[in-house]
Amino acid sequence: MDLSYKNGKKFIYFILCGFLINLVSGVNPGPQVIATKGAIWPKPQRQNISDSYFILKPGKFQFVLSDITKNCGILQSALDRYLKIIQQNEILTKDTLKYRKPHDKNKKSWHFREKFLGYLDQLTINLSQTCDDTKYPDLEMDEHYYLVINQTTFKLEAASFWGILRGLESFSQLLYLGDDLLSLRINQTEIVDFPRYKHRGLLIDTSRHFLPLNVIYKTLDAMSYNKMNVLHWHIVDDQSFPYVSIRFPELSNMKCKNYNGGAMLNKINCNFSNLGSFNPYTKTYTPEDINSIIEYGKVRGIRIIPEFDTPGHTRSWGVSHPELLTECQELDTFGPLDPTKAETYSFMNNLLAEVKVLFKDQFLHLGGDEVDFTCWMGSQNITEFMKKYNISSYFALESYYVQKIVDMTEKLKLNSIVWEEVFHNGVKLPQSTVVQVWKGDWKETIKNVTESGYQALLSSCWYLDNIQSGGDWTSFYNCDPSVFNGTENQQNLVLGGDACMWGEVVNEHNLISRVWPRASAPAEKLWSAKNKDPDLDEVARRLEEHTCRMNRRNIGAEPPNGPGYCD
């Protein structure tokens, strides 16, 4: 070997070593981001806060109901839930006390500090309207609240239960461990708060990977800690049909059905283990399961909106009902629902009527995205149908189908949500339809959607399955639904948006850590006042605290910013 080559390698080696030594020695000790103490996430609309503080002893603290607020079961369950959360904070002080040296235990000097205002033993809850335990959250629910903690008043006021709920979350977040590491403190504060947008959602996908009930419950818990109020449940898709239908139980339960002389076996890649669901006994959602999720969400102020995406994304439907799908004769497979068959619409009407009764929300997501026209193009029956009814393109054929489904939904007295392709294809939608925007050129699309008088939801910049190295929450935080060229009226037609966690590579084991605290970024953008130039360092400090707060509440949120620790 050439000696100069060997010497050259040594030189490069020493240069690299020196670079690494400098790099390592240049890293300062300690956390990368210093967390705030007692900062609320999402940030309130208006908050006056001072350095003066009260001490709260979790074992002695209680909520006190005003006369009009008593005998409200849904409120009492919320108070019990938040009292447990507050009492869990006592662990912080007890754990610290175990490791204090004897002389350190005399450092309760806050008794004598001028900023110490006394003890906070109770918070009065004043619900100004009559409590209705039977009411479910909806698009128009009132989430305003007023919270004041000062030397004369400790109270939380709201016109509705939903406002009380959001105020309780804020109150619980005001608590922090004092600098003596022994006291649980809450600063003197006054808050007037309400959401910027009505719809603050999270999409979960239970078709690509089944999510057990306990994981969905935990997701709803985390959503409530972030004041999100819509679970967009993408419940079925090509891969599986876990929804147990009352009218059509075979959708989730039946093995591949013989169809067209056995050709079905090849077309759906059927085998003896292939069912509509991954497993009809352990990987499905019964009506009882779904009702439990709806009720769990209700008491946390969260709407459950299901999505039954058609005419594409329906391969799992064909396991038990291949007659609904389009045969791809040349490709020896099946494609989207066949829009030319009367039985397709009869089936859909029966299914959607059932869904309306089971789910309590006034909205139903109809999907309508990513329809592959290949099988339609190869079908002689569809070609003849298009000629007969003067349908000039496959986009027009899709519009023909979607129009019928939207009309069907309207007759069921439900409002439709559709993906943006339905709007682009020129379907004549009722003005009550909401268009969900998910593609790249979202500013232009939202402008066009609202210009046409339709309400809009944004998801384009909040796809949580798109992962970047490091803490990527800033890319989500820097997206604002109002940043498009539209009039004030158009801005008012934007209802909010959904952060989307598609399930191709996410299951019960990594869903929570993949979603949180990344979804906290859109949660704040959809709740808090618009900020054209946010201080991302300040946001990072609050998110650091909020992530630790979620960890203490048994939400396995991943670190948002880099090296650090939680108390």
Catalytic residue set: 370
Q: Which residues lie below 8 Å from residue 159, measured CB to CB, with a gap of 6+?
A: 127, 128, 129, 142, 144
Cis link prior to 559 (omega < 30° from 0)? Answer: no
Read off the DSSP letter of residue 460.
T
| Paired tokens of 339 | 């829009």
Contact 318, 257 (CB under 8 A): no
Q: Dihedrals φ, ψ of 87, to 5°?
A: -65, -30
Measure Cα distances from 288 to 206, 211, 241, 354 in Å.
17, 16, 17, 14
Question: How far is it, in rounded angstroms, from Cα 543 to Cα 452?
Answer: 38
| Paired tokens of 481 | 């639904």
Q: 3-state class of 116 per DSSP? A: strand
List the one residue out of 432, 458, 483, 531 whose CA is nearest residue 201. Answer: 458
Cβ neighbourhood burial of 403 (10 Å; 0-12, 13-18, 19+): middle
| 296-315: b (≥16 Cβ within 10 Å) or e | bbbbbbbbbbbbbbbbbbbb
- Using only C-alpha atoms, the chain has a radius of gyration, in whole angstroms, of 28
Measure Cα distances from 485 to 401, 420, 445 in Å.
32, 18, 11
Question: How far is it, in rounded angstroms, from Cα 233 to Cα 304?
Answer: 7
| Paired tokens of 156 | 């939380």
Measure Cα distances from 189 to 147, 219, 453, 539 in Å.
8, 30, 41, 20
| Paired tokens of 99 | 């490791």
Question: How far is it, in rounded angstroms, from Cα 219 to Cα 228?
Answer: 11
List the one residue out of 386, 387, 449, 382 whose CA is nearest residue 422. Answer: 449
- Cα distance between the two ends of the chain: 57
Which stretches does DSSP call E strand in 420-486?
434-437, 455-458
Question: How far is it, in rounded angstroms, from Cα 230 to Cα 302?
Answer: 5
Contact 364, 352 (CB under 8 A): yes
